Amino acid sequence: MTKTGMTISRRAAFSATAALFAAARAATPRGAFAQGTTTPEVTKATLGYIALTDAAPLIVAKEKGLFAKYGMPDVEVVKQASWGATRDNLVLGGGAGGIDGAHLLTPMAYLLQAGRITQNSQPLAMNILARLNVNGQGLCVAAKHKGATIDATALKPALTPDSKVAMTFRGGTHDLWIRYWLAAAGIDPEKDAQTIVVPPPQMVANMKVGTMDAFCVGEPWPAQTVNQKLGYTAAVTGELWKDHPEKAFALRADWVKANPRAAEAMTAAVIEAQRWCDADANKAEMCAIIGKRAWFNVPVADILERSRGNIDYGDGRKVESSPLLMKFWRDNASFPFASHDLWFLTEDIRWGVLPENTDTKALVAQVNRADVWRAAAARAGVPDSEVPQGDSRGVETFFDGKRFDPANPRAYLDSLSIKKLAGA
């Protein structure tokens, strides 16, 4: 064969090969090529959780194989003894025997970022990728104190500077709810009682031995307190602030930076789990799952009714199908509104957990990753109608008439008569 003939044959072969690839590309769904760009960098992450009903999306995502569905089959969801242990394990990180992310009190992500709760005040950069729920916490009072409701005034004469009022972590959501509730009734939580830290699963045991006068914690512990006739629920926190934000799905920022596709994949799995958890038809199964010995080791009867919005306050009041039940998805429960993070930071300034000169907007910009949430929601097939258009829910109104305008947090702070501001 001549040199020219060999060249023509090679060209024909290349043309045939190119045509074959073109035909294959045309016959293959575009998604298969797109999938290559969304494949997680790793298949494993270690996530922490506390035995609280609002951890359900992480547990369900594991139990239902949703992490695996999005390419993360080796995700581990590991119980933490307390929020302090969660903090310490986040500082360690998954590579050093700790955890990469967690079901977390929303303000904790910011307190870690600012170095306010770490050894030697060393900042740990964090990202919030989703809110896990709204509502679903209880303001609980010992049975010996009667009459307190959303209005805590009846509790005022019973409290002394030695009275113990418990929450789960200084500067966390439960701390802020109980402080707001007491302060609205003219009770200064810095002077009129002692606020103490008790891990959520130990709240009921502490109430049983009579060491506490009141506490705030998430379900199922308020319901269990009532079921064991140890106290009553003065109010559910949705009465303080309807559809208030609560826990977050948060990861170490360095992990997100190193594994952006994996972070998005896990967020998509969590979003799908939240949608499943919020379906009324799935409530019984959800409670059966999280109540298992491997997760909470709590009777389903202590979880189910309040998950359905049926609240026995324990003092004769009962409400059926309350709109203030814990929500995981509906009413934009999953979206991490930056305006809500700003409120948490403002309240932590109010109580001296953060200094008054904190650049709250800069902190929110560093921690809040609503962009990851939006990308993950698209991957999870969330319709556009269920995706918020902006990052603010606007002006929020509380039970005592106070209003928080995220455009002017200072005005809100100035309107509060009981507070404890701190310098840098």
Q: pLDDT per residue over 200-250, tens digit each?
A: 999 999 999 988 999 999 999 999 999 999 999 999 999 999 999 999 999
Local confidence band at 5 (pLDDT 50, 70, 90 cut-offs): very low
Residue 58: the pLDDT is 98
Per-residue pLDDT at 324 exceeds 70 = yes
Strand order in the sheet with 137-142: 194-197, 164-167, 214-218, 137-142, 231-236
Q: pLDDT tens digits, residue range 132-165? A: 999 999 999 999 998 999 999 999 999 999 999 9
Whether the CB-CB separation of 212 and 140 falls below 8 Å is answered with: no
Q: pLDDT tens digits, residue range 352-364? A: 999 999 999 999 9
Residue 36: the pLDDT is 53
Whether the CB-CB separation of 335 and 63 falls below 8 Å is answered with: no
Local confidence band at 424 (pLDDT 50, 70, 90 cut-offs): low
Q: How much is the mean pLDDT over the chain?
A: 92
Q: What is the pTM of this model?
A: 0.91
Judged by average pLDDT, the poorest of 5-14, 75-84, 158-167 is 5-14
Residue 4: the pLDDT is 37
Residue 423: the pLDDT is 74
Local confidence band at 8 (pLDDT 50, 70, 90 cut-offs): very low
Q: Alpha-carbon distance 372 to 128, whole Å?
A: 9
Taking residues 48-77, report their average pLDDT.
98
Residue 10: the pLDDT is 39
| Non-local CB neighbours of 128 within 8 Å, separated by 6+ positions | 106, 109, 248, 249, 250, 336, 341, 367, 368, 369
